[in-house]
Amino acid sequence: MREIYRGRIVDLRLEEVRLPNGAVVELELMRHPGAAAVAAVDEAERVALIRQYRHAAGGFIWELPAGVLDPGEEPARCAARELREETGLVADELRPLGAIFTTPGFCDERIHLFLARGLRQTAHAHGHDEAIAEIRRVPIRDALGMVQRGGIVDGKSIAGLYLAAAALGVAP
């Protein structure tokens, strides 16, 4: 293993790996601490979406509230923290929906997805590195329509919305 870069969120390494077929290859791998994202759905079946600036995506995109796990932090705690910080919402219930790998070809980032219910509004506390232009509650069916029309392109949000809709029995 040769470390190329150690950053605040990711580490980039070259690793020599023996594949299941016996071949030995050198892989460029990005190591990530993991994250959590939350589909917060209120009693009217509206989901909280944020419109956040993402430089790598070329501007503002709609997504579910999410964030990186702190060292030793449980995913549900991270989901609750990010929901509060980014939207000002506090949930009575956080139900795990599963987890996804974002780009398993070169990165080990795993995002844990949650459904939040029993929502209460408080004040949000955006971090200095977050540029959130808008917070909107959208009927979950409309959010799924945004996915289908290309209005939501973020992978974690797409997976979280469809898993939340399935858990709630909402047909797309």
Instruction: Return the closest-CA partner of residue 51 out of 126, 119, 112, 118.
Output: 126
Query: Looking at 26, 74, 130, 134, which residue is catalytic?
Result: 130
Q: Is 140 helix (H, G, I), strand (E, B) or coil?
A: helix
User: Catalytic residue at 130?
Assistant: yes
Output the CA–CA distances (angstroms, integers) from residue 103 to 10, 58, 147, 149, 156, in the order listed. Answer: 13, 19, 19, 23, 11
Output phi, psi for 156, to 5 deg: -65, -35
Q: What are phi and psi of 68, to 5 degrees?
A: -80, 140
Q: How far is Cα 51 from Cα 131, in angstroms, rounded to an integer?
A: 9
Task: Provide the annotated active-site residues.
Answer: 130
